[in-house]
């Protein structure tokens, strides 16, 4: 059988999604296992390999798998290792030779690995909104803010393999919010799904402005979205603020790499009806005149349930 | 004769420097012409071609010139054009097919063109402090702040050829200084040579603090440097402030492309004895822990009188 299929694996803190994918981006078979059952990597790899063999067998694609692509927190493309991934139960503070271990468990099928945001960018370039683009920046607006940068048709990994941490560029210089990374004022403390919820809680406390959000016990970005859809003024202001901060930073990013487009992905990107306008306004107000109105803002075109698998799988085509 | 030489041309607003350069970065012959004698490009090209033929003849290198590299304001590498270069007397608001015109005037020798900061980065990579580096960011601290970004051993030109305008990323978001580009708060309004002089004038006006600078009519960054060397406290504070702002932005740049080093060049970089410490402190305080203390800050190693010609000439080796 021709080796015209790949496997994509997306490793998150709780679950690991994996699937067999063809060149058009069709997911032929997929499954999910838990990521957090073990405290060491070996039994996790064994369970993962079992799951992969099961979906290969189910889809009758034995011998057709050309390679395996993995998107994982702190994944290093150059070395195939996962380094200091504190969010993974077996990640700890060590350097795990993940690609090597998985390849061995999969009878030598080659494995390529990068972080989840880079994988998302690869997916978008291979199957999605960035097809045909050689210069774009992918921003993932999820629990955190991740990024994957493509320049001249190639993923930017940088000197050490960890380039593209735009979620940790500074958006509020003084008295900014504390970030999990130990810094303050990082973009992701304001413009991730959790950042939006933080803004909501902060603003509700700071003012008496009436809002549908006041009746809620625990506010999520989805609640803010629902309230905005109801026309809630505070919720709308929160999206305006979030979009403005994003657009201001996007202007800086454009001045760095002059991309054709910025591609948005992730849970919070679903609020595009409230984000697009303030992002574009702030981006164009803050960028050099030569790029004003010229850089596209586009949203992921991958089916959300498949996106994580597709992104990781895209890596494997380069093997 | 083997074609083992190149020509480098650095076009500034007032003067144009050009020289014949060998593969080791030795300038075999050089000359300077005025850039601002003409209002149209044709007579300028004719005079430039005459000057080039003169230095070729002087250095007895007829037939040995493999290519010509040009560093020019608003130079577009992709198209070989100079676009909207308002600082050039013949630049105007049009698009000038400069590389084509010069190649024709030079009997078909191929011409490659980019902006001056990119040329400086190429020079540093080919002959200077960034030799052997595949990922670095060149920052030129002159009248303005320019930048040239190298990723995976290649210059970053972006989608349209104009990438690397880090001098126009925002360093002071609210009430920032007005920039020539029309925006406010741009890095170059604070951290260029003119920015440093602006800081001095602003601070002298805002306080009564005694300073050697008070006796001066018109303050330049060189005056601030001289005063700092005398131990002038205000001058030292100005460098501390300038270095801190630079370091804060460098942290953002590192989070973008994870470079091995940031390379500083230009008149203001000569004040390295006062800039290095605050830059490194702010850079390491503001970057993600994974890069803390790991990204080098280096200064140009090119002889200043040759640097502009060498930078432009480096482009020609790729022809």
Reported ipTM: 0.93
A158 touches B: beta carbon within 8 Å: yes
CB contact under 8 A, A251 and B170: yes
CB contact under 8 A, B182 and A289: yes
Residue B9 pairs in a beta bridge with: B18, B70
When pLDDT is averaged across residues B44-65 and rounded to a whole number, the result is: 96
CB contact under 8 A, A256 and B163: yes
CB contact under 8 A, A158 and B248: no
For residues A293 and A285, give the distance between their C-alpha atoms in angstroms, rounded to a whole number. 9
pLDDT surpasses 70 at B39: yes
CB contact under 8 A, A157 and B258: yes
- Nearest neighbour of A256 by CB, restricted to B166, B183, B294: B166
Counted across chains A and B, CB pairs separated by less than 8 A come out at 122
B135 touches A: beta carbon within 8 Å: yes
- Work out the minimum CA distance from A89 to partner chain B, whole angstroms: 20
Q: What percent of chain A has pLDDT over 70?
A: 100
CB proximity under 8 Å: A 115-134 to B: 134
pTM: 0.93
B95 touches A: beta carbon within 8 Å: no
Whether the Cβ atoms of residue A249 and residue A281 lie closer than 8 Å to each other:
no
When pLDDT is averaged across residues B225-242 and rounded to a whole number, the result is: 98
For residues B206 and B228, give the distance between their C-alpha atoms in angstroms, rounded to a whole number. 19
**Chain B residues touching A286 at Cβ < 8 A:** 170, 183
Tens digit of each residue's pLDDT (9 = 90 or more) over B190-205: 999 999 999 999 999 9
For residues A227 and A120, give the distance between their C-alpha atoms in angstroms, rounded to a whole number. 29
Angle ∠(B245,B282,A283) on CA atoms, nearest 5:
50
B288 touches A: beta carbon within 8 Å: yes
Per-residue CA distances from A99 to A11, A45, A46, A103 (Å)? 13, 10, 13, 6
CB contact under 8 A, A169 and B288: no
The pLDDT, as a whole number, for residue B1 is: 57
B263 touches A: beta carbon within 8 Å: no
**Chain A residues touching B289 at Cβ < 8 A:** 181-182
- Nearest neighbour of B256 by CB, restricted to A149, A157, A160: A149
**Chain A residues touching B291 at Cβ < 8 A:** 160, 162
For residues B158 and A253, give the distance between their C-alpha atoms in angstroms, rounded to a whole number. 11
Shortest CA distance from A262: residue in chain B: B159
- Work out the minimum CA distance from A109 to partner chain B, whole angstroms: 27
A293 touches B: beta carbon within 8 Å: no
Residue B30 pairs in a beta bridge with: B19
For residues B88 and B40, give the distance between their C-alpha atoms in angstroms, rounded to a whole number. 10
Three-state DSSP class for residue B155: strand
Tens digit of each residue's pLDDT (9 = 90 or more) over B155-187: 999 999 999 999 999 999 999 999 999 999 999
Per-residue pLDDT in tens (0 to 9) along chain A, 319 residues: 577 999 999 999 899 999 999 999 999 999 999 999 999 999 999 999 999 999 999 999 999 999 999 999 889 999 999 988 888 999 877 899 999 999 999 999 999 999 989 999 999 999 999 999 999 999 999 989 999 999 999 999 999 999 999 999 999 999 999 999 999 999 999 999 999 999 999 999 999 999 999 999 999 999 999 999 999 999 999 999 999 999 999 999 999 999 999 999 999 999 999 999 999 999 999 999 999 999 999 999 888 778 889 999 999 998 8
The pLDDT, as a whole number, for residue B82 is: 94
Q: Residue A305: count other Cβ atoms within 10 Å of its Cβ.
A: 10
- Which of B154, B258, B261, B283 is best to mutate for the A interface (most A CBs within 10 A)? B258
- Which of A117, A153, A164, A169 is best to mutate for the B interface (most B CBs within 10 A)? A169
**Chain B residues touching A162 at Cβ < 8 A:** 258, 290-291
- Work out the minimum CA distance from A49 to partner chain B, whole angstroms: 31
């Amino acid at each position: 059988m021709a080796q015209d299929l790949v496997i994509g694996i997306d490793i998150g803190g709780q679950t690991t999604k994996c699937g067999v994918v063809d060149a058009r981006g069709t997911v032929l078979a997929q499954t999910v296992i838990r990521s957090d059952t073990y405290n060491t990597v070996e039994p996790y790899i064994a369970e993962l390999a079992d799951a992969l063999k099961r979906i290969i067998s189910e889809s009758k694609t034995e011998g057709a798998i050309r390679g395996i692509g993995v998107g994982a927190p702190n994944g290093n493309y150059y070395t195939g290792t996962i380094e200091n991934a504190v969010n993974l139960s077996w990640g700890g503070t060590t350097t795990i030779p993940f690609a090597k271990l998985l390849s061995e468990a999969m009878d030598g099928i080659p494995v390529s690995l990068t972080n989840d945001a880079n994988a998302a960018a690869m997916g978008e370039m291979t199957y999605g909104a960035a097809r045909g683009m050689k210069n774009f920046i992918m921003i993932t607006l999820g629990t955190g803010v991740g990024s994957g940068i493509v320049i001249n048709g190639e993923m930017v990994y940088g000197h050490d393999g960890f380039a593209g941490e735009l979620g940790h560029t500074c958006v509020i210089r003084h008295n900014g919010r504390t970030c999990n990374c130990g810094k303050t004022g990082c973009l992701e403390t304001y413009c991730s799904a959790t950042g939006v919820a933080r803004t909501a809680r902060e603003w509700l406390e700071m003012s008496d402005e009436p809002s549908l959000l006041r009746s809620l016990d625990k506010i999520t970005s989805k609640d803010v979205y629902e309230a905005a859809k109801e026309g809630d003024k505070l919720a709308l202001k929160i999206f305006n603020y979030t979009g403005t901060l994003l657009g201001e930073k996007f202007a800086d990013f454009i001045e760095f790499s002059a991309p054709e487009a910025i591609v948005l992905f992730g849970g919070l990107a679903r609020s595009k009806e409230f984000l697009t306008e303030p992002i574009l306004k702030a981006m164009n107000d803050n960028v050099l005149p030569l790029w004003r109105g010229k850089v596209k803002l586009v949203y992921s075109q991958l089916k959300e349930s498949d996106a994580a698998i597709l992104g990781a799988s895209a890596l494997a085509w380069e093997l």
